[in-house]
Amino acid sequence: MPSCPFSVVGTDRHHCRPSTLVRSFRLMRVVALSAMAILTGALIGGCLTPERQSSEPLPVDVLEDIPGRIPLKAFASLPLVRRMTLSPSGEHIASIQNTAAGKTYLVVTTYDGKEARRLLESDNKRYSIRWFDWVNDERLVVGVGADDGWSNLRWTETRLFAIDRDGSNLKTDLIAPSRDHNSFARGYLPQLQDRVIGQIPGDNRSVLIALDLDHHTYPDVYKLDVYTGRWELIERSTYGIRYWMADRQGVVRLGTAVDGTIIHILVKPVGQDRWQTLRKYDALSEPDITPLGFDEDPNILFVAQRLDGRTAVYSIDISEPHVPPTLRASHARYDIEGGLIYSS
């Protein structure tokens, strides 16, 4: 297949179409260019990092492979396959596959491996496939990222695509510019557009997504139709909430607010209309708490926090925040890491 930064791979695998991701990012850049000067301050406070020049060799340049040991390049290589995920019916499997040539593909196959189709391709030089998920048995959403810059500043942008598992019906413009006259910058496009936080059970067309369309760095939660791009406001950011979490019933039930070095974890227990403070701590001087996800019972929240110097998993009843957390998993020598894996 001819080389291209990012493409949609159709039935004919000997031709590479013009880069969909390139066109998408260029179009969005033109739309948002007028707001760039205003956004620079916000970007500096976010994911932006300056370029650094150094004449000193990197450690990998001065270390040689030692016979009998695993070479350093093995640790730097991308995994062959990652994020292998069954479709809701269990009939198809999607995964992100990497090659020795540095290419990455989003691949969908039948459960027996007889039919395989490459949906998206990236060369990982500027654009990358970050993640994907099934919305229903036919359609997937895909988070893609790109390194970008302006003057001597560099940052990462993300976009959300939707595509059918047969490679058709690709939509790269799910997130449209803000139409709010009171918006900080008309025509503004969020820097991060792939922060999907969940799905509403029974709704096979939509996902819940956090987007700062109106107030920069303070995203609201929207229900986004992955076929049309239409969205509906679900939860407005209050109390400075920057990160959201939905429960397994698709209800937005947790938000994390940042005030300087103070972290506020806010929750909305079942039957409550107002946000309540579950935990508040100083990120520089107190142990942190990382929300992992909700139980089938939406009042039960799983969190990661320290125990005897190791990361352990606890559960908290958010309807009774003063009751001590219940220890669920720990190890004397190792951290308990990773996300929650649900049985359904």
289 in a structural domain: no
55 in a structural domain: no
Distance set, CA 80 to CA 95, 96, 102, 104 (Å): 10, 8, 11, 9
Taking the alpha carbons at both ends of the chain, their separation in whole angstroms is 38
Q: Compare 3 and 21 and report the one with higher pLDDT.
A: 21
- Model pLDDT, residue 90: 92
Which among 213, 210, 208 has a CA at the least distance from the CA of 195? Answer: 210
Q: What predicted TM-score, i.e. pTM, was given to this entire model?
A: 0.76
**Averaged confidence pLDDT in the chain:** 81
Q: What is the mean pLDDT of residues 180-205?
A: 78
Fill in the amino acid letter for 41.
G
Name the 3-class secondary structure at 211.
Answer: strand
Environment class of residue 145 by beta-carbon count within 10 Å: exposed (0-12), middle (13-18) or buried (19+)? buried
Query: Cα torsion for 31, 36, 38, 40, to the nearest 10°?
Result: 140
Q: What is the mean pLDDT of residues 275-292?
A: 94
Res. 179 pLDDT band, cuts 50 70 90: low
16 in a structural domain: yes
Is the pLDDT confidence value at 258 over 50?
A: yes
Q: Residue with structure tokens 């990358």?
A: 128
Range of the domain at 189: 1-50+76-237
- Model pLDDT, residue 336: 95
275 in a structural domain: no
255 in a structural domain: no
Do residues 180 and 190 touch, judged by C-beta distance below 8 A?
no
Which among 64, 61, 92, 98 has a CA at the least distance from the CA of 78? Answer: 98
91 in a structural domain: yes
Length of the chain: 344
Is the pLDDT confidence value at 326 over 50?
A: yes
In total, how many domains does the chain have? 1
What is the share, in percent, of the chain residues with pLDDT greater than 70?
78
3-state helix, strand, coil split of the chain in percent (to 5) is 10, 40, 50
Do residues 211 and 196 touch, judged by C-beta distance below 8 A?
no
- How far is Cα 313 from Cα 339, in angstroms, rounded to an integer? 10
- Model pLDDT, residue 177: 67
Where b means 16+ CB within 10 Å and e means fewer, 37-56 reads: eebeebbeeeebeeeeeeee
163 in a structural domain: yes
- How far is Cα 222 from Cα 205, in angstroms, rounded to an integer? 13
109 in a structural domain: yes
Contacts of 123 (CB under 8 A, 6+ apart): 3, 4, 5, 6, 102, 103, 104
Do residues 32 and 26 touch, judged by C-beta distance below 8 A?
no
Is the pLDDT confidence value at 107 over 90?
A: yes
